[in-house]
Amino acid sequence: MYGISTVGIGKTYGSFRAVDSLTFNVKSGDIFGLIGPNGAGKTTTMRMLCGTLSPTTGTAFIAGYDIAKENIRIKKIIGFLPESTGFYNWMSGEEYLYYFARLYDIEEPIARKKVRDLLDRVGLAGRAFAPVAYYSRGMKQRLALARSLINDPKILFLDEPTLGMDPRGQQEIQKMLSDLNLEDGVTIFLSTHALTDVSTFCNRIGILNHGKLIACGSLNDLRNLLNDSTSIFVRILRNQETASRLAHPPFKITIDNVTEDSVDMIISDENIELDEVIDWMRKQNLKFTELRQQKMNLDEIFFRLTKPSNDKDSTLITVNKSRSPQVGQSSSRL
């Protein structure tokens, strides 16, 4: 069964379509990352799925329950870390969590233990009795995360969970979420701008732009969408003969960067093997200091797919493989 399944879900404000008819599935046990520029509709989507905003079109099912009809059931099995959380600043972190535990009807001794465990889990045990007013932004975010876990959710929605956290904090939270997913099988649906984290942490990724889901799948699915075949990066030592030796290569090369002593190039022919490149360089007496296969990373995919259509500098962000200068032109730069 799908953890989350949406059917044409959308939200309009007047004539403005903030979220435009999204249909996608997230399997139970997935870690799904929703990414997109500011204003793309991530928060709106998440709020509709969590029942804090009603959709104008379509619907969604959370663990099989219809968000339009079974909101109360859904609330019991999900946790939600919203974009911004309101706190009662006079309460301590411990009091705040205990208050929410009681809202979920968790009995006192169990609630006390749960609160202690959660404060420990999110790294706030040492500040449990300080008023929330004295918490830093990162600490408040940890407290909000603990709050979203108070009912042992099966599905966790996190709207920019690591916003405002220092790099160590981000790493700790990611580890914690990873453990929740691996050990307790919690399905995670998160939005973030930390693309490097998404590519290592999420097994599926959705890209939202102007309210539309423009791509959805694993990182490899997204690469395939852009017809990204693997390319090879080579750095060779530069000397007076380099230009003539590069004049007639047997495959398509793109000169990427030239310095006083080195030339970087990208070989982007399909099905090219590293061995063939090495053989050719040996024959040409070209000495290399680096050689590696490279795949398009999520940043490149993201920028290519969400590029504004009138972007004059778009060539700067297209990946190397799409640039295919004639070899003659390349050599003239050497």
Ligand X SMILES: Nc1ncnc2c1ncn2[C@@H]1O[C@H](COP(=O)(O)OP(=O)(O)O)[C@@H](O)[C@H]1O
Which one of 13, 308, 310, 313 is in contact with ligand X (CB under 6 A)?
A: 13
Report the residue number, 92 or 141, with the smaller CB distance to ligand X. 141
Task: Output the DSSP codes for 253-276.
Answer: EEEEEE-SSEEEEEE--TT--HHH
Which one of 5, 6, 21, 43 is in contact with Mg ion (CB under 5 A)?
A: 43
Residue 189 has a CB neighbour count (10 Å cut-off) of 27
CB 208 within 8 A of CB 45: yes
Report the residue number, 36 or 58, with the smaller CB distance to ligand X. 36
Report the residue number, 43 or 148, with the smaller CB distance to Mg ion. 43
Report the residue number, 43 or 268, with the smaller CB distance to Mg ion. 43
Report the residue number, 38 or 271, with the smaller CB distance to ligand X. 38
Q: What are 108-115's contacts with CB under 8 Å, separation 24+?
A: 114/150, 115/150
Among Mg ion, ligand X, none, what does residue 21 contact (CB within 5–8 Å per kind)?
Answer: none
Report the residue number, 151 or 191, with the smaller CB distance to Mg ion. 191
Helix axis angle, 137-148 to 108-121, nearest 10°: 140
Provide, rounded to whole angstroms, the least separation between the CB of residue 83 and Mg ion: 5
Provide, rounded to whole angstroms, the least separation between the CB of residue 16 and ligand X: 6
Query: Judged by CB under 6 A, which stretch of 31-39, 144-152, 272-280, 281-289 contacts ligand X?
Result: 31-39
Residue 275 has a CB neighbour count (10 Å cut-off) of 8
- Would you say the C-alpha torsion 62, 68, 69, 70 has a positive or negative sign? positive
Site for Mg ion in 126-185 (CB under 5 A): none
Query: Judged by CB under 5 A, which stretch of 37-45, 149-157, 171-179, 276-284 contacts Mg ion?
Result: 37-45
The residue count for binding Mg ion (CB under 5 A) is 2
Pick from 19, 23, 20: nearest CA to 6: 23
- Would you say the C-alpha torsion 200, 202, 204, 208 has a positive or negative sign? negative
3-state secondary structure 38-74: CCCCHHHHHHHHHCCCCCCEEEEEECCEECCCCHHHH
φ, ψ (nearest 5 deg) of residue 145: -65, -45
Report the residue number, 38 or 240, with the smaller CB distance to ligand X. 38
The residue count for binding ligand X (CB under 6 A) is 10
Query: Judged by CB under 6 A, which stretch of 38-46, 166-174, 285-293, 302-310 contacts ligand X?
Result: 38-46
**Token couple for 7:** 């059917």
Report the residue number, 9 or 263, with the smaller CB distance to Mg ion. 9
DSSP 153: -
Among Mg ion, ligand X, none, what does residue 185 contact (CB within 5–8 Å per kind)?
Answer: none
Query: Judged by CB under 6 A, which stretch of 22-30, 36-44, 198-206, 225-233 contacts ligand X?
Result: 36-44
Query: Judged by CB under 6 A, which stretch of 37-45, 231-239, 293-301, 310-318 contacts ligand X?
Result: 37-45
Site for ligand X in 289-328 (CB under 6 A): none
For the chain, the distance separating the N- and C-terminal CA atoms, rounded to the nearest angstrom, is: 58
Binding site for ligand X (CB under 6 A): 13, 18, 36, 38-44
Binding site for Mg ion (CB under 5 A): 42-43
